[in-house]
Chain A
Amino acid sequence: MILTESSISKKNLLVMSLAFISGFIIMSIELLGGRILAPYFGSSIFVWGSIITVFMISLSLGYLLGGKLSLRKPRLKQHGTFFISSAFLLLPLILFSNQLMESLFLIIEDPRYGSLSVSLLLFFLPTTVLGMIAPYSVRLLVINSHHSGHIAGTLYFVSTLGSALGTLVTSFYLVLWFEVNQILISMALILFAAGFLAIFSDKNFSENKLSVDSTS
């Protein structure tokens, strides 16, 4: 019984930490987005408008999909695959963003639509997948409907706090110390590691699953 409870709180801690990491990375990438687009589309207000729009659309879609996926057999294993896929989906941003912007710059004259298209192509997929993490986390942690609001609240708290820190640390320090791609590669590696951690932890926690269910 004691073991079970500690494994619940360990699992909580893991899922919360993962939510924190995803929140941190989402905003870090969003902030770097301005940097990445500036050489081709400038730093006019609509460039930020494009980036924020795409992030919001992607996140909203991610929430929808993540919630939907959580309906059937929510497992830490699947949760981990979100992290690993988002890490892979960051690769085009790291490897091909200049080539992509170069060609879109030639096709689209208006920097508003140019920056919007580039943002869509570069940020839509990784951010959508990162958006799936939050609602899925809620399902992983909720045991009964009574405390579901509490869990959701705590998760929002943790992931949004992560976002705040991601914004702060990136804009105050990371850009001063590292190149944009160095930061992005590190983010991808962290996502990758987080994904593996979730997948390997899945076994530990699922063994206790029955006893957890019986206490609820």
Chain B
Amino acid sequence: MDIIVCIKQVPDTTEVKIDPVTNTLIRQGVPSIVNPFDKNALEAALQLKEQHGGKVTVLSMGPPQAKDALKECLAMGADEAVLMSDRAFGGADTLATSRTLAAGIRKLGHYDLLICGKQAIDGDTAQVGPEIAEALDIPQVTYAAKLEISGDSKVRIEREHEEGYEVVETTLPLMVTVVKSINEPRLPTVKGTMKANRKEIPMLTAADIDVDLDSIGLKGSPTQVHRIFTPKQRVQGQLIQADSPREAVAQLMNKLAEAKLI
């Protein structure tokens, strides 16, 4: 089974700083890591490879230093890593990013399964995975907490919802995004780390892929960011559970009175 995992190098903090002028992420001085959900995606791919054989390729779009993130994935056990890097890719929103990655995936050739993390911890959009599936015209299942593939390529996925799981059955080829609870990503080994360091990471530029230059990068991005800010924290709601509506109303009235709202 050939699996492609899309990963993103992100700043190592959940509280990213935003440049107030350009409204983009400030990356200077912040150590970079592999987006944590993407590590879950890679772990899922590695487990499937252990069951079914095949190859795991990691793909990322980013600046040249994103190679460090790809090396970490190789150290964890990925077979190949490819970096898509070009000034023409810069300034991309999720749509332009997904078009670029989809073009890269087409260039890589055959694949059975595409796995992405549910979202990146910097932008938190959760859009790129689904948009890649759209661009490639393959089915997609998001928020997978369990992913099983039987011998005859039948796929069974448990999608995580706030109130439970939705079980989906489908077939390959397929794009899946995974949530944190799907697995515990393995730590790289010393041997894997050393092998990863010696491994060549090929780079794809805009010239290497079949894509309309007007549809990628800043030019191909319909999203215009006007301002980014941290919204005020919402206070957690309270659920009153009581045996009868009468009692529930009584409790509610008490609470409102306590809060001096009535």
A and B bind: no
